[in-house]
Amino acid sequence: MNARSPRAALAAALVLLGVTARAVEWTPVAKIDLLGGQFFFQGQNTSFSGNANWLFSPGIRLSDSDAVVPLVTGQYRRTREVRELVGGGFLTAESLDNAVALKWIHLFSSEWNIKPNLSYKNELITDSKDEKLGYGIFDYHKFSAGVELERAGGELFKSVRQSLTAYAVRFYHYRALSAQSAEFGAEVNSGDRVLDFNAYDYTLSADAQPREAALISGSLLASVRPYRDQKIVTVSGEYQNSNRLDIYAVGTLSARLSVAQWGNLESAAGLNGGYTRVFSNQSNYDAQSTRFNPGYYDYGELSVGPFAAARWRKVLSAALSYDFTRRAYDHRPAQDAAGLYGARAIRMDTHTVSLAAGYDLTKRLALKLSGSYRRATSNMLYESTYRYNYWTAHYFAGLGWTL
């Protein structure tokens, strides 16, 4: 039997499904970055560390009106960084995530298209040096399905998109590792699967081009997130029969301007901004202080920051960005270092500076550099569970390959 190329085999399979072979076009895209370097947390130097990411997408055009885009992507990071997990910032040490997705694009006309999609993601996270990757308390699966409707090609609004997405997040190790842990607040110990939740999102986004060298992008997100097994804690520390429900509202705005082009140098600059509002019916009961804290998860968060990028002779590129974020909790009270409660709610400011550079060695191979510095400050000084005050930095260098 003669071996056939992957493209020929794909075409034969699509013929069996009723898709004409002559209409099939296969456009594979692949990318791998392998970087190494060092990270710092609160002045603690570390040994050599690694960072890698990968992507593969064999886009398949079935006809003039239909295309299928499979996607495989992943990332490995070994850095001590603070991440938002379970209602607050936790210090993580290592992470590995992999995801697969499938999107179908159908064109109704030159202006209208629809994009149903499915995806699955698995992320492994360690939050201490003693944990091994694959056995972390915060390891989770995410199953997602959605559909996007787009109108493209307008004179001012180049693209207007609406999407509905439903997904389920499952922390599959939580029951075995920490169901009886006293490390967390009482509300987290109110059931076996208290971290698991579902989400139902609606997103409206648009790209506008008021002039040739300018692009403005914005989006609005509304998300309802019911928890499967987290009961609402009461003023006495008991639990109600009803479950926790969170509501998210997020707005983002980005403006990009192609500043100038001098000979072989191209440059661009812009500004990113966003606002997040979270409402939750869950409260907190501090068993040690026998104190009830209502509205514990409600907050507003504002972020804003400029960015600039340049490219010389289409082989050397650099990008610099700064981001300022202020999160203000509505009711979560600040505490001093000993844990005594104050009268004011928690406020947290975060400053992040990021730098990236690349040099194309060949058509497909590039030398890459990246680094960042982040500092967070807060009036919350008690950090037995969540991190509010810290600084962290890293630098990485390595190679990137693109198909």
CATH number, domain with residue 159: 2.40.160.40
Q: What is the pLDDT of residues 291-334, one digit of tens each?
A: 999 999 999 999 999 999 999 988 999 999 999 999 999 999 99
For residue 189, what are the domain limits? Answer: 6-402
Tally of domains within the chain: 1
201 domain residue, yes or no: yes
pLDDT on residue 385: 80
Sites in the chain below the pLDDT cut of 70: 1-23, 43, 45-47, 129, 175-191
pLDDT on residue 84: 78
1 domain residue, yes or no: no
Amino acid at 291: R
Task: Indicate the pTM of the whole model.
Answer: 0.86
50 domain residue, yes or no: yes
264 domain residue, yes or no: yes
204 domain residue, yes or no: yes
pLDDT on residue 287: 84
